[in-house]
Amino acid sequence: MTRLFGTDGVRGLANRDLTAGLALGLAQASAAVLTKGRRAQARLAEGRRPVAVVARDPRISGEFLNAAVSAGLASSGVDVLDAGVIPTPAAAFLINDIGADFGVMISASHNAAPDNGIKIFAYGGTKLPDDVEDRIESYIGRDTLMPIAGDVGRIRRFADAEDRYVVHLLGTLPHRLDGIHVVLDCAHGAAAGVSPQVFTDAGARLTVIGADPDGLNINDGVGSTHLDNLATAVLEHGADIGIAHDGDADRCLAVDRDGNIVDGDQIMAILAVSMAERGVLKDRTLVATVMSNLGLRKAMAANDIAMVQTKVGDRYVLEELNAHGYSLGGEQSGHVIMTKYATTGDGILTGLHLVAEMARTGKTLAELASVMTVYPQILVNVRGVNHKGLDADSGIAEAVLAAETELGDTGRVLLRPSGTEPMVRVMVEAADQPTADRLAHTLADVVRERLAL
């Protein structure tokens, strides 16, 4: 059977793959598993019910899924605090802030409006380990808690959810943003009600786009996956920087005043150098994935900052951060995690600290981003091949070695088998785009020939 949980919760086409029935069953199973811990059991021993925070992004299907999740939790004896439409990192923060036993975020992040997802957070606002997700999945449709009378849960509005999160964000800033003109793209998503307020309160001069969610327009031509509108708005308004979130605001990408994209790798480079200068980068170490640009590694080395690389996925970055107490990590896609202030990627937090560094140094975003040279990178997906045979194929290994020899220290080669389909991803970085393109397609042809089904 296909595992229900993916790399970031349960996702699918709302009302087809992800139904109200599945949401209710998933909530009941989560309650059965996550209320077995010591904290929840201590509440019960004191005559108090376990507590869960439930939140969502503004896509239309979130309304019925929120109702189903809340019903599943309350019918299992869990008190629900409904935080309404807020960013995913806000939900994670609130779980930790009030000491809730766990929480649920209903969102499909950067996906289009017809999709939705359910992400479950443990006590402290942290992501669930794989084994706990597997236990929850095994409980669906059985072992549900069915209390009666006064033991059923209550559903109440989390009235000050946004205010708590805004105060938290403002309290993290090392420098106000006065005098900096920011264009903010909220992706018609969960950031629309929070991010403009925070940037304004922090002193930025603000122009806002993508902040009119109607339930259907989330991520539709706006946000971190569609940066053209943001770049245009920055140029039209003569702004200093553009900040883009995705649908649930756990990502941040930027554009400089000339409309050039500043991606997650460059943002991490800027923040890492700043934190190192200020003595707050734990062990002078940055955590990133194997897909981060070679330029990031070279920039960190030039600034005497170590770089630890993980498998692709922010959950693996988080695992490494937590295992060693590091303070900064993330992905090229804009998931940036600052562990002093957040338990997950937070696009609003990241954007605030990026602009704060401009204010602190008096430098433009382009000047800050120049700490890192971005190497041309190409990714080729080779489909319909025996991806499980990649590591054992000597012909592919020889082709990779030849490419690496040609590149020397001016580039990098990475071949990764897909975990879910017959596909191999071929990534090449080089000092120039033609070399990257040539080597990537040469390696793709070798993979296609050697691993043909």
Spell out the residues 6+ positions from residue 132 whose beta carbon is closer than 8 angstroms to its own: 33, 34, 122
C-alpha 349/C-alpha 168 separation (Å) is 10
Backbone angles phi, psi at 155, to 5 degrees: -115, 115
Give bridge partners of residue 116 from the DSSP assignment.
12
What tokens does 235 get? 């140029």
Radius of gyration for the chain, computed over Cα atoms and rounded to the nearest angstrom: 23
List the helix and strand counts (H, then E) for the chain: 15, 18
DSSP letter string over 34-96? Answer: HTSSHHHHHHHHTT---EEEEEE-S-THHHHHHHHHHHHHHTTT-EEEEEEE--HHHHHHHHH
Q: 20-34 and 130-139 are packed helices; what angle lies between their axes, rounded to 10 degrees?
A: 120
CA distance linking residue 144 with residue 25, whole number of Å: 9
Tokens encoding 165 = 């999160």
Per-residue DSSP letter, 264? H
- How many Cβ atoms from other residues are within 10 Å of residue 199's Cβ? 23
Query: N- to C-terminal Cα distance for the chain?
Result: 23
Helices (H), 279-413: 294-302, 314-324, 347-361, 365-369, 394-407
Concerning whether 327 is annotated as a catalytic residue, the answer is no
Instruction: Count CB neighbours of 397 within 10 A.
Output: 14
The sheet carrying 377-383 orders its strands as: 377-383, 423-429, 412-417
Residue in 61, 76, 107, 109 annotated catalytic: 109
- DSSP letter at 238? T
Cα distance between residue 266 and residue 451, in whole Å: 35
Angle between helices 264-277 and 347-361 (to 10 degrees): 60
Catalytic residue numbers, as ranges: 109
